[in-house]
């Protein structure tokens, strides 16, 4: 409502004065980012250095961000979608191409990762990578040892072989409630292109999930953080950052729960959160200033230190504290990294098939 | 109960009827205009918007659906209406299953709420007026915290290493933790717990007004307490029963959070299907069609309940 | 017992008491609502409990119905101890002050309610309901809801409902209280007629002395939880046992005085208040010098301009005010001592005004048997 009013007001002014919008109040920047996704001083330092006042809002799911962007007139200058979401949103014409001449720190970015992101954002037109991570298996070390006799999980067999997942049923298996990521992971395990939209490939992925299904306690995309930390579940297909957060919580609680994370040898999904500027951003100029600021190695490194996610800056990585930099959960080894695959946006038609197959797998209906 | 009973109006009603154009009538119109306006702004207009979206086609655009009205060559107004979403609701059995699943969960929860809330409301209504507020506050108190927090509290109680399982294990009554969470039982528990006050309050409101001498009169005429309850208390509390059932049933059908957090993977409710249409499929028109049909599914039984309630109340 | 036409026939006060209240006390916390009442009521009596609000009369009635339980003492109905017997098992029905008609039921369903609870067959219920509604002249209203009836009609339905089970004892709590005066008077006689016709024992609670006087075959006056006096209406009026009863029932002139002469056949009482000595031709057993009261009803006093020859009790005063009430006139006379007394005279002639005018000097006189000496 407020955005709407502000938009209408800006439009009126625009008509009356016929001057570029960003000239009117150019000392403001509206950012919409994931919650807990910057260092404590990131925004304050930026405001101090530039004199630009930042309005900082947070969200906690790509869907919420997407709904806002698709509804239009979001009034944000910087948004942080995951790359596969950005791909589809870009097709709807939501974003403004970056003016890379204004981003002198762009050179700090890892070329290999930029090339991967280019699968979602051709020629890296709209977005810069912010943080990235993986989807793997988070597990309760003691309970896995007890039931499977291993110290670390190295293969997806643990979940995708029914006789093995059955052994974990009693201590609780959780899976991300995200059809594209979960089925993509299953297809990767089967050696099938995770981005395939062939119905027969979808059927194979779904069948594999159906074998796991009887041993799954629940499908949810965030509940597992707490449950893994408290020992209510013992294995989860989840995001590396969330699982590391569960590990921290368990350590802080001193509850004797010891948590491990691995991306198994068959490979896993890799995701990128990227920063982009909406087409109707009222302060696009300031948005560029902010992106350039974020790309400074010391700024990026400070964020990685705080949020325990890998960044995409070759210049920043050496500045990241060794504790984070050497954690294979955050920075996978080169061997694992070579087996990571990225998700593409699906066609609307395939999305529907995928969602339907997922629902059918879960509920039997 | 017979029809002619309704035809005979009490003689006293005549002087009360307002004359056309009198100030009272203007006042009454003004008074009814406020809720009408409320309904228009918060129900009718959103309904029309959602209806409009449900008749469009999904599109990769902002907003992500096609326009119903377009100008061709700036001259001809072209109307494009797509009913396929509604047809699809019947093609795929998922929707029917989800609607039925939601209705079942809501209906069972409503019945349980009614059976739990009635004694509570009756108990409170029979307290001294000064102490009623205390008991009402106890019923209302949980509402002052976030619903999400309360659901998480239940998760803490029900989970495999939660309070219930810990106590039962400690007592040696069970040897393996019971699977209480991620079950239909947990969904029912969560919904019944969350919506119980919505049942207690309307019941209390009618029971509080119930004339105690009517109960005495029935006892005097030979009715044992149970009979007295069934023949006097219950029929007279019917408006509260209807209001409470509507207030529990309607939101329970659309419930999303509780089944998502406490339900198992196979808990299928229409709220989840709607979420999937909107966020996973990004098909706003389909999501809108699901919502419109859900509304119709809800409005019809509510209307039935209302008319039943009014009928058995006579002139109410 | 199946016929409504059964009458009081053999039943009479001579029988063993039908309702026996034995030393009943009811306390609510510290408050004593009913204080050690013992009372016998006979079969087919129409007994009125008269008292002001808070006198305990309704509490006593509710104990008879079984809604309250005596703190001490017990109640027997027809020889059966009612202690621990719930309302729905007592051979008693009650007509509530508010009528307590079930608003969600028709008149017929209201009246038939008690019969259905007793398991009476549907057809029989219908017959008896119709019969009872005819008795109270509500036969045409069987299908109405209570909110479609006038106050008087509701009262009849309530009566019918409480009678249809043919209770041994009917309790009526201010049965006519909600009706206007004219309707009340009509209904009083109807109630008596029905009572005579059915022979049911009625206990009526009322605060209205006229109602009690009209209805009752016997009545009891209650004050502050105690039963002050029991007797036939006439006895209570003419021979009140206390100042409270004398003042509560009807109007009375009350003179304070000192007993100067107490013989078996008469007493003399010197009253400073009245400025004279009263002569009353009945004795009381009190010591001379004791302070007593003499109660004289206004209609028992004569007015005259001259001192009537041979009068036993005469006081002189000035007419202060006159109220014309149609059937009689009420005179307020100021005595020499300043005390105001009340005298009523029937208006015997239509044309004549009152014989006396305000400011007239008059003599008020009454006979030796007109006054009552009250020691308490």
Burial state string for A59-82 with b = 16 or more CB within 10 A and e = fewer than 16: beebbebbbbbbebbbbbbbbbbb
Q: Which chain A residues are closer than 8 Å to B58 by Cβ?
A: 348
Contacts by residues A327-336 (CB-CB < 8 Å, ≥ 24 positions apart): A327/A244, A328/A262, A329/A240, A329/A243, A329/A244, A329/A247, A329/A261, A329/A262, A330/A133, A330/A240, A330/A241, A330/A244, A330/A304, A332/A134, A332/A263, A336/A263, A336/A265, A336/A267
Q: Which uninterrupted H or E stretch holds B72?
A: strand B69-72
Strands (E), chain C: 19-28, 31-41, 46-51, 72-77, 80-81, 92-95, 169-173, 201-206, 218-223, 226-231, 253-262, 267-271, 276-280, 291-296, 302-304, 313-324, 328-335, 340-346, 361-366, 372-374
Comma-separated ranges of CATH 2.40.50.140 domains in chain C: 254-374
Q: How many CB atoms lie within 10 A of CB A346?
A: 21
What is the pLDDT, as a whole number, of residue B36? Answer: 81
Mean pLDDT of chain A: 90
Instruction: Reply yes or no on whether the pLDDT at C6 is more than 70.
Output: no
3-class DSSP state of B29: helix
pLDDT in tens, C143-159: 999 999 999 999 999 99
CB C365 within 8 A of CB C308: yes
What is the pLDDT, as a whole number, of residue B177? Answer: 83
Instruction: Reply yes or no on whether the pLDDT at A6 is more than 50.
Output: no
CA dihedral C296, C301, C305, C310 (to 10 degrees): -90
Mean pLDDT of chain C: 89
Strand partners, A31: A56, A78
Residues in C whose CB is inside 8 Å of some CB of B read 65-67, 86-88, 92-94, 96, 98, 100-104, 106, 113-114, 117-118, 143-145, 147-150, 161-162, 165
Cβ contacts of A158 within 8 Å, gap of 6 or more: A137, A144, A148, A164, A165, A168, A235, A264
- Rounded Cα–Cα distance for residues A164 and A155 (Å): 11
Instruction: Give the mean pLDDT of A240-264.
Output: 93
- Rounded Cα–Cα distance for residues C338 and A12 (Å): 94
3-class DSSP state of A22: helix
pLDDT band at B310 (very low <50, low <70, confident <90, very high): low
Instruction: Return the CATH superfamily for domain A133-270+343-363.
Output: Periplasmic binding protein-like II (3.40.190.10)
Tell me the Ramachandran region of residue C350: left when phi exceeds 0, alpha when psi lies from -120 to 50, beta otherwise: alpha
Burial state string for B158-197 with b = 16 or more CB within 10 A and e = fewer than 16: bbbebeebeeebeeeeeeebbbbbbbbbbbbbbbbbbbbb
What is the pLDDT, as a whole number, of residue B304? Answer: 75
Distance in Å, alpha carbon of C158 to nearest chain B alpha carbon:
10
CB A186 within 8 A of CB A250: no
Q: How far is CA C46 from CA B221, C194, C203, C234, in A?
A: 21, 11, 6, 15
What is the pLDDT, as a whole number, of residue C354? Answer: 60
What is the pLDDT, as a whole number, of residue C3? Answer: 35
Determine, for residues C102 and B222 on separate chains, whether the beta-carbon distance falls below 8 Å: no
Instruction: Give the mean pLDDT of A120-139.
Output: 96
Determine phi and psi for B40, rounding to 5 degrees: -65, -50
Instruction: Reply yes or no on whether the pLDDT at A201 is more than 60.
Output: yes
CB B262 within 8 A of CB B182: yes
CA angle in degrees (0–180, nearest 5) for C367-C244-C68: 145
Q: Do chains A and B touch (3 or more CB pairs under 8 A)?
A: yes
Instruction: Give the mean pLDDT of B93-121.
Output: 95
What is the pLDDT, as a whole number, of residue C8? Answer: 36
Instruction: Give the mean pLDDT of B295-310.
Output: 74
CA angle in degrees (0–180, nearest 5) for B26-B31-B32: 100
CB C360 within 8 A of CB C332: no
- Domain membership flag for residue B244: yes
Nearest-CB residue to C100 (from B214, B222, B235): B214
pLDDT band at B10 (very low <50, low <70, confident <90, very high): very low
- Domain membership flag for residue B62: no
Strands (E), chain A: 28-34, 53-59, 78-79, 127-140, 173-175, 216-219, 235-239, 259-262, 269-276, 310-311, 341-342
Q: How far is CA A345 from CA A34, A83, A193, C123, C223, in A?
A: 20, 9, 13, 77, 92
pLDDT in tens, A217-226: 999 988 899 9
Give the lowest-confidence range in B15-29, C40-54, C288-302. Answer: B15-29
Q: Which chain B residues are closer than 8 Å to A213 by Cβ?
A: 265
Comma-separated ranges of CATH 3.40.50.300 domains in chain C: 19-244
Q: Which fold has domain A2-126+277-295?
A: D-Maltodextrin-Binding Protein; domain 2 (3.40.190)
pLDDT in tens, A329-340: 999 999 999 999
Q: How many CB atoms lie within 10 A of CB C308?
A: 13
Determine, for residues C96 and B1 on separate chains, whether the beta-carbon distance falls below 8 Å: no
Residue B103: which CATH number? 1.10.3720.10
More confident residue, A254 or B298: A254
Paired sense of beta strands C201-206 and C169-173, if any: parallel
What percent of chain A is helix, strand and coil (3-state, nearest 5)? 50, 15, 30
Closest to A180 in 3D by CA, of A335, A50, A339, A345: A345
Determine, for residues A232 and B161 on separate chains, whether the beta-carbon distance falls below 8 Å: yes
pLDDT band at A32 (very low <50, low <70, confident <90, very high): very high
pLDDT band at C336 (very low <50, low <70, confident <90, very high): confident
CA dihedral A344, A348, A351, A357 (to 10 degrees): -150
pLDDT band at A7 (very low <50, low <70, confident <90, very high): very low
Closest to C346 in 3D by CA, of C330, C322, C360, C357: C330
B63 preceded by cis ω (within 30°)? Answer: yes
Any idea what DSSP says for residue B70? E
Domain C254-374 CATH assignment equals 2.40.50.140: yes
- Domain membership flag for residue B65: no
What is the pLDDT, as a whole number, of residue C353? Answer: 61
Q: Which chain B residues are closer than 8 Å to C94 by Cβ?
A: 216-217, 220
Q: Which chain C residues are closer than 8 Å to B216 by Cβ?
A: 65, 67, 87, 94, 96, 100
Instruction: Reply yes or no on whether the pLDDT at C106 is more than 90.
Output: yes
- Domain membership flag for residue B50: no
Q: Which chain A residues are closer than 8 Å to B278 by Cβ?
A: 63, 67
- Domain membership flag for residue B15: no
Determine, for residues B63 and A70 on separate chains, whether the beta-carbon distance falls below 8 Å: yes
Instruction: Reply yes or no on whether the pLDDT at A364 is more than 90.
Output: no
Mutate: best of B66, B160, B180, partner A, most A CBs <10 A: B160
- Rounded Cα–Cα distance for residues C264 and C286 (Å): 11
CB A229 within 8 A of CB A183: no
Instruction: Reply yes or no on whether the pLDDT at A9 is more than 50.
Output: no
Determine, for residues B58 and A231 on separate chains, whether the beta-carbon distance falls below 8 Å: no
- Rounded Cα–Cα distance for residues A155 and A189 (Å): 9
Determine, for residues B236 and C117 on separate chains, whether the beta-carbon distance falls below 8 Å: no
3-class DSSP state of C21: strand
What is the pLDDT, as a whole number, of residue B94? Answer: 93
Domain C19-244 CATH assignment equals 3.40.30.10: no
What is the pLDDT, as a whole number, of residue A24? Answer: 47
Strand partners, A134: A270
Paired sense of beta strands C92-95 and C169-173, if any: parallel
**Chain mean position to CA C87:** 26
**Chain mean position to CA A45:** 25
Distance in Å, alpha carbon of C18 to nearest chain B alpha carbon:
19
CB C78 within 8 A of CB C18: yes
- Positive or negative torsion for Cα C92, C95, C100, C104: positive
Instruction: Reply yes or no on whether the pLDDT at B78 is more than 90.
Output: no
- Rounded Cα–Cα distance for residues B267 and B261 (Å): 11
Determine, for residues C114 and B222 on separate chains, whether the beta-carbon distance falls below 8 Å: yes
With CA atoms as reference, the chain A residue closest to B181 would be A217
3-state secondary structure B224-282: CHHHHHHHHHHHHHHHHHHHHHHHHHHHHHCCCHHHHHHCCCCCCCHHHHHHHHHHHCC
Give the domain extent around B303.
Answer: 85-312
3-class DSSP state of A259: strand
- Rounded Cα–Cα distance for residues A232 and A219 (Å): 14
CB C288 within 8 A of CB C332: no
- Rounded Cα–Cα distance for residues B275 and B257 (Å): 11
Which ipTM value was assigned to this complex?
0.85
CB B287 within 8 A of CB B278: yes
- Rounded Cα–Cα distance for residues C196 and B138 (Å): 56
Tokens representing B66 are 């096609």
Instruction: Reply yes or no on whether the pLDDT at A253 is more than 50.
Output: yes
Comma-separated ranges of CATH 3.40.190.10 domains in chain A: 2-126+277-295, 133-270+343-363
What is the pLDDT, as a whole number, of residue A294? Answer: 96
Tokens representing B163 are 């309070």
Instruction: Give the mean pLDDT of A180-200.
Output: 95
- Domain membership flag for residue B195: yes
pLDDT in tens, C229-244: 999 999 999 999 999 9
What is the pLDDT, as a whole number, of residue C15? Answer: 59
CB C122 within 8 A of CB C64: no
Q: Which uninterrupted H or E stretch holds C114?
A: helix C107-117
CB A135 within 8 A of CB A240: yes
Q: Which uninterrupted H or E stretch holds A298?
A: helix A297-307
Q: How many domains does chain B have?
A: 1
CB A349 within 8 A of CB A266: no
- Domain membership flag for residue B262: yes
Instruction: Reply yes or no on whether the pLDDT at C41 is more than 90.
Output: yes
Tokens representing C192 are 């008596």
């Amino acid at each position: 409502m407020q955005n709407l009013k502000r938009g209408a007001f800006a439009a009126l002014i625009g008509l009356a004065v016929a001057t570029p919008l960003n000239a009117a109040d150019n000392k403001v920047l509206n950012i919409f980012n994931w919650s807990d996704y910057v260092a404590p001083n990131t925004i304050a330092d930026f405001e101090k250095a530039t004199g630009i006042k930042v309005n900082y809002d947070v969200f906690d799911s790509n869907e919420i961000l997407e709904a806002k962007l698709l509804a239009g007139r979001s009034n944000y200058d910087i948004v942080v979608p995951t790359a596969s979401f950005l791909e589809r949103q870009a097709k709807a014409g939501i974003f403004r191409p970056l003016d890379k001449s204004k981003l002198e720190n762009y050179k700090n970015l890892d070329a290999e990762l930029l090339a991967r992101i280019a699968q979602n954002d051709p020629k890296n037109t709209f977005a810069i990578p912010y943080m990235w991570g993986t989807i793997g298996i988070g597990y309760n070390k003691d309970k896995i040892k007890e039931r499977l006799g291993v110290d670390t999980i190295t293969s997806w067999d643990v979940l995708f072989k029914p006789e093995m997942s059955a052994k974990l049923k009693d201590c609780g298996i959780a899976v991300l409630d995200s059809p594209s990521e979960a089925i993509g992971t299953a297809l990767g395990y089967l050696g099938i292109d995770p981005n395939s939209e062939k119905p027969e490939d979808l059927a194979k992925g779904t069948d594999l999930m159906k074998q796991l299904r009887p041993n799954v306690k629940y499908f949810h995309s965030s509940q597992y953080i707490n449950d893994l930390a408290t020992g209510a579940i013992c294995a989860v297909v989840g995001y590396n950052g969330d699982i590391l957060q569960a590990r921290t919580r368990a350590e802080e609680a001193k509850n004797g729960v010891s948590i491990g994370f691995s991306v198994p040898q068959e490979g896993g999904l890799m995701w990128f959160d990227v920063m982009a500027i909406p087409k109707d951003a009222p302060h696009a100029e300031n948005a560029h200033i902010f992106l350039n600021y974020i790309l400074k190695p010391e700024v990026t490194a400070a964020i990685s230190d705080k949020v325990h996610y890998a960044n995409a800056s070759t210049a920043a990585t050496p500045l990241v504290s060794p504790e984070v930099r050497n954690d294979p959960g955050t920075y996978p080894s080169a061997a694992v990294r070579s087996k990571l695959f990225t998700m593409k946006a699906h066609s609307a038609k395939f999305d529907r098939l995928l969602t339907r197959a997922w629902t059918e797998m879960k509920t039997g209906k | 109960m017979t029809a002619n009973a309704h035809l005979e109006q009490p003689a006293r009603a005549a002087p009360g009827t307002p004359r056309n154009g009198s100030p009272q009538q203007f006042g009454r119109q003004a008074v009814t205009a406020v809720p009408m306006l409320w309904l228009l702004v918060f129900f009718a207009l959103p309904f029309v918007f959602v209806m409009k979206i449900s008749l469009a086609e999904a599109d990769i655009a902002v907003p992500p659906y096609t326009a119903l009205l377009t100008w061709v060559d700036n001259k001809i107004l072209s109307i494009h209406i797509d009913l396929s979403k509604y047809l699809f609701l019947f093609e795929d059995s998922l929707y029917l299953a989800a609607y039925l699943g939601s209705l079942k969960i809501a209906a069972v929860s409503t019945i349980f709420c009614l059976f739990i809330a009635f004694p509570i409301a009756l108990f409170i209504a029979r307290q001294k007026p000064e102490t009623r507020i205390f008991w009402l506050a106890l019923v209302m108190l949980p509402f002052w915290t976030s619903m999400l927090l309360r659901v998480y509290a239940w998760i803490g109680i029900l989970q495999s290493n939660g309070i219930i399982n810990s106590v039962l294990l400690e007592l040696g009554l069970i040897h393996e933790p019971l699977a209480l969470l991620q079950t239909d039982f947990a969904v029912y528990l969560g919904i019944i717990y969350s919506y119980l006050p919505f049942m207690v309050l309307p019941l209390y409101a009618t029971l509080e007004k119930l004339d105690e001498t009517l109960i005495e009169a029935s006892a005097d005429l030979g009715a044992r307490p149970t009979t007295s309850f069934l023949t006097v208390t219950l029929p007279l509390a019917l408006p509260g029963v209807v209001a409470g059932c509507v207030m529990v049933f309607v939101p329970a059908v659309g419930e999303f959070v509780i089944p998502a957090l406490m339900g198992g993977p196979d808990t299928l409710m229409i709220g989840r299907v709607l979420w999937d249409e909107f966020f996973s499929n990004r098909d706003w028109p389909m999501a809108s069609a699901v919502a419109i049909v859900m509304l119709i599914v809800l409005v019809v039984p509510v209307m039935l309940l209302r008319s039943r309630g009014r009928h058995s109340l006579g002139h109410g | 017992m199946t016929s409504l036409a059964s009458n009081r026939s053999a039943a009479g006060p001579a029988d063993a008491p039908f309702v026996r209240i034995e030393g009943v006390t009811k306390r609510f916390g510290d408050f004593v609502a009913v204080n050690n009442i013992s009372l016998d009521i006979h079969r087919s009596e129409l007994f009125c409990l008269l008292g002001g609000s808070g006198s305990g009369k309704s509490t006593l009635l509710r104990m008879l119905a079984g809604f309250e339980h005596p703190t001490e003492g017990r109640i027997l109905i027809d020889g059966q101890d009612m202690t621990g017997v719930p309302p729905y098992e007592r051979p008693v029905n009650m007509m509530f002050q508010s009528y307590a008609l079930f608003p969600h039921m028709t008149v017929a369903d209201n009246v038939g309610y008690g019969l259905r609870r007793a398991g009476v067959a549907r057809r029989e219920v219908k017959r008896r309901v119709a019969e009872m509604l005819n008795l109270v002249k509500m036969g045409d209203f069987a299908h109405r809801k209570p909110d479609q009836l006038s106050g008087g009609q509701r009262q009849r339905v309530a009566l019918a409902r409480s009678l249809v089970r043919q209770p041994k004892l009917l309790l009526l709590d201010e049965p006519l209280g909600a009706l206007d005066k004219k309707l009340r008077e009509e209904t009083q006689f109807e109630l008596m007629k029905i009572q005579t016709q059915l022979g049911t024992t009625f206990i009526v609670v009322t605060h209205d002395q006229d109602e009690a006087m009209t209805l009752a075959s016997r009545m009891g006056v209650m004050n502050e939880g105690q039963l002050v006096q029991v007797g036939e209406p006439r006895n209570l009026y003419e021979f009140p046992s206390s100042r409270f009863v004398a003042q509560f029932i009807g109007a009375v002139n009350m003179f304070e005085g000192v007993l100067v002469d107490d013989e078996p056949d008469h007493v003399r009482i010197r009253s400073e208040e009245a400025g004279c000595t009263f002569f009353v031709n009945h004795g009381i057993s009190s010591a001379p010098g004791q302070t007593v009261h003499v109660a004289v009803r206004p209609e028992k006093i004569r007015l005259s301009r001259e001192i009537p020859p041979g009068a036993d009790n005469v006081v002189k005063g000035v007419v202060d005010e006159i109220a014309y009430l149609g059937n009689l006139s009420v005179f307020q006379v100021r005595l020499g001592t300043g005390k105001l007394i009340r005298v009523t005279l029937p208006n015997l002639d239509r044309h004549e005004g009152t014989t006396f005018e305000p400011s007239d000097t008059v003599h008020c006189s009454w006979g030796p048997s007109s006054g009552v000496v009250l020691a308490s």
